[in-house]
Amino acid sequence: MEISSDLSSLTSIRIIDRPSSTKSSIRLITFNLFFFTSIVCLHITQLLIFPLIFTFNRLSGCLKHFHILAKSTFSVILVISIQTFAKTKIVITTDEGVDLEQWIVRDHDLMMRSIRLPKRSVIMANHQIYADWLYIWCLAYLAELHGSIVIILKASLKWVPLVGPAMQMFQFIFLNRSWSSDKASLANELSQMADGVSSIEGSTATDETNQRERLALLIFPEGTLVSPKTRPISKKYADKMGLSDLRHCLLPRSTGSLFCIRALHRKIPDLQLIDLTIGYPGIPSDGYGQDYYTLQSIFGHGHSPREVHIHMRILPVSTIPIGKSHLKDSKYGSKDERGSSDDERAVDPTREEFEEFDGWIREQWIKKDEMLEKFYRDGRMCEVDEQAEGKGKALRRLEYQIELKSLWDGVRTLGLAIPGVSIIWLALKSV
């Protein structure tokens, strides 16, 4: 199902002002039928297999591998959904002095097979539309990290029918948006997550072995979308703190971001930070992304962005001002009189450490805001030579059409869904 030029051109018009059509309604029904049927089949398979692995101790070692397989399968469903209903290309750019050619893994025909990204990382991004996580997951698919991505979500999503339990089995992290109540559980989950991976320095995600050593924790330091409701809140906070508010981003929240990075870095010395700045064409400089792109408008109506622009930087966490106090040894498993765990206390930054990181991350968001200003004005976040490949120059722009890398990915996805399909077939047959 191809995206026609008239559909893609509608992305510069607000969703409420776009014309409706019968064809669009049929597409909406078709997409939702495909997507939710796929999710139901995958989730039924999860429900069938999970109790067996959880019950028998000798199978417990398979639990993490099963989670990786389930997340990999879901990411393939996302890729198929984009390839079929919402064709999109990811445009990756980098800072000056970085050669993307060094990241590319090519096959025998010199075609790009994948890209090398750090095996253990925190992915940090600005947040413009609800589909941000989806395109980041597709980027992780290209980097073969799609089975190891972990997303932090609102606790209210934990029991959403069908999707909520599936995300719990994906071992995503759910927070109540109250730091006093979230802190202890977050410290525990991050500690367990870090214990589950190795810290072999220099390994990359494209290594064919040690799938279980990969980790990609996705965080959105802004905490929510840029919208008419959140923009005044950011402005009020900026005024209170004597800061300049941003135009295209919200001021980042430092507390949770610093806590996550320190908690993982405490046990993963070679942890890397993948910093993403994401921009979508069609959104005016003074507009809000959610007015132009929603999950249903992208997939159900075919109004997908022609390109998703991602400016990427990779920074060793050891070079970021997160402090050193979390690296000190402490008595494992101990608790203080308030019930705070060893992990929780060790990860807590000093006031000086927090203030230094707070200033640093705010500087990164100022840079993002400047890049987005240029993007909305010129259609690009930075000046690059688009024809650098083959000229002996550093390649700073890379295009990736989101699609399956191999037929095997699709076959494996179908195979994992077969138990779910069988249950549905038997249920319908008995009616």
- The pTM is what? 0.88
* Phi/psi of residue 423, nearest 5 degrees: -60, -45
Close Cβ partners of 180 (under 8 Å, ≥ 6 residues apart): none
Give dist(CA 378, CA 46) in Å, integer.
46
Give dist(CA 139, CA 120) in Å, integer.
15
| Cβ-based neighbour number of residue 184 at 10 Å | 15
Give dist(CA 379, CA 375) in Å, integer.
5
Helix axes 407-430, 22-55, angle to 10 degrees: 90
- State whether the Cα torsion 370-238-308-149 is positive or negative: positive
Contact 86, 189 (CB under 8 A): no
Beta-bridge partners for 273? 122, 315
Averaged over successive runs of 10 residues, the pLDDT of the chain (431 residues) comes to 50 86 80 86 79 62 77 92 94 93 89 93 97 96 94 87 82 86 90 74 49 88 93 92 93 94 94 97 92 93 94 97 82 48 77 96 97 94 69 83 87 67 55 47
Q: Is 345 exposed, middle or buried (0-12, 13-18, 19+ CB in 10 A)?
A: middle
- Strand 307-316 to strand 272-279: parallel, antiparallel, or no bridges (unpaired)? antiparallel
Contact 218, 146 (CB under 8 A): no
Tokens of 319: 């070079």
Close Cβ partners of 47 (under 8 Å, ≥ 6 residues apart): 165
Beta-bridge partners for 217? 122, 150
Give dist(CA 169, CA 280) in Å, integer.
31
Give dist(CA 107, CA 395) in Å, integer.
18
Q: So what's the pLDDT on residue 418?
A: 65
Q: So what's the pLDDT on residue 392?
A: 60
Give the CA angle between residues 228, 223, 143 to the nearest 5°. Answer: 115
Q: So what's the pLDDT on residue 201?
A: 47
List the one residue out of 11, 4, 6, 5 whose CA is nearest residue 304: 11
